[in-house]
Amino acid sequence: MTHFFALLPTIWPWLLLITAMVSTVSGKQVLGMGLLAVFGAVSLTLGLVTPIAAGVVTVGFAGALILRNLSGMWAALGHVTLVIWCIALGAHLVPGFHNPLVLDQVQSGPLSRDFTMYLNLDKPMVLFTVALAWPSMIGGAVALRKIPLAVGFALLPALLAVGSAVNAIRPEISLPHWWVIFALSNLFLTCLTEEVFFRGYLQSLISSRFGAGLGIAAASLLFGLVHVGGGPALAGFATILGAACGLGYYATGRLWVPVLMHFGFNAAHLVLFTYPGPA
């Protein structure tokens, strides 16, 4: 906790951003966008984003609002464009965002590799954009489907066991002093954003047109592909993790289920195994 409080003078704007994100996915979109506007003003004042970056995000929001009123070929083209735009933001390809470095080559334990982490400003903008484009993802709970949910949850420890068996990770129990900032960033800026995009938006969109099976498969494969920079093994593990979270979302219709599955997996990885892998 000492490490977290030492960072507070630098990271306090992200608490505003996270509140805006949670408000948006909780169905309070007006409040969420209002808080985001305040965060945007703060970020511009502090030099965390440039006016060009803010303009790019504003154009994306406007396009998302237009997209939800389109149909047919124009809607399909708009969704493809939105997916590409979101992946570019998530991959930090849009200039003008100054994501601060908060963990610099730290280790979760003596057997683990060095780990570096930034607090993202650009990636969370994906959440607000797809919430504007596909608002039906929020509040879409369904009658519980127990078997898909059980399979999804069973995949998580199985994936960790496979990773350990092939030496992608190794057992190492540790709780690094920086766990609070890791948890805050990973839960909201990473897991919440990714699950809203891949499950709430992409899986839901494809499922509405081609069925749940193809929706889960396509969103999981794309989730794996965006991790291919870490190597084919990471892409494969990410695909399976995506399928597990996809089943959780399909089984409940509640976004917080895959978010907590995703975060629970990452937290178990950090606490029980070498993170991100063995040294």
pLDDT digits (tens, 9 = 90+) for 156-180: 999 999 999 999 999 999 999 999 9
Cα(139)–Cα(188) distance, integer angstroms: 19
Query: Which tens digit of pLDDT belongs to each residue from 44-76?
Result: 999 999 999 999 999 999 999 999 999 999 999
Q: Above 90 in pLDDT, residue 87?
A: yes
- Looking at this protein, which amino acid is placed at residue 81? T
The pLDDT value given to residue 142: 85
Per DSSP, the three-state class of 49 is strand
Task: Calculate the average pLDDT of the chain.
Answer: 95
Are 86 and 130 a contacting pair, CB within 8 Å?
yes
Residues shown for the chain:
279
Provide the 10 A C-beta neighbour count for residue 115.
Answer: 18
**Both tokens of residue 89?**
């933001």
Q: What long-range pairs does 238-245 form, CB within 8 A, spacing at least 24?
A: 240/155, 240/159, 241/155, 241/156, 241/159, 241/265, 242/198, 243/152, 243/155, 243/216, 243/217, 244/151, 244/152, 244/153, 244/155, 244/156, 244/159, 245/152, 245/195, 245/198, 245/199
CA-to-CA dists, residue 75 to 35, 62, 134, 172, 176, angstroms = 29, 15, 12, 48, 46
**Both tokens of residue 57?**
């995000």
Interval 220-249 mean pLDDT: 95
The pLDDT value given to residue 164: 95
Global pTM reads 0.96
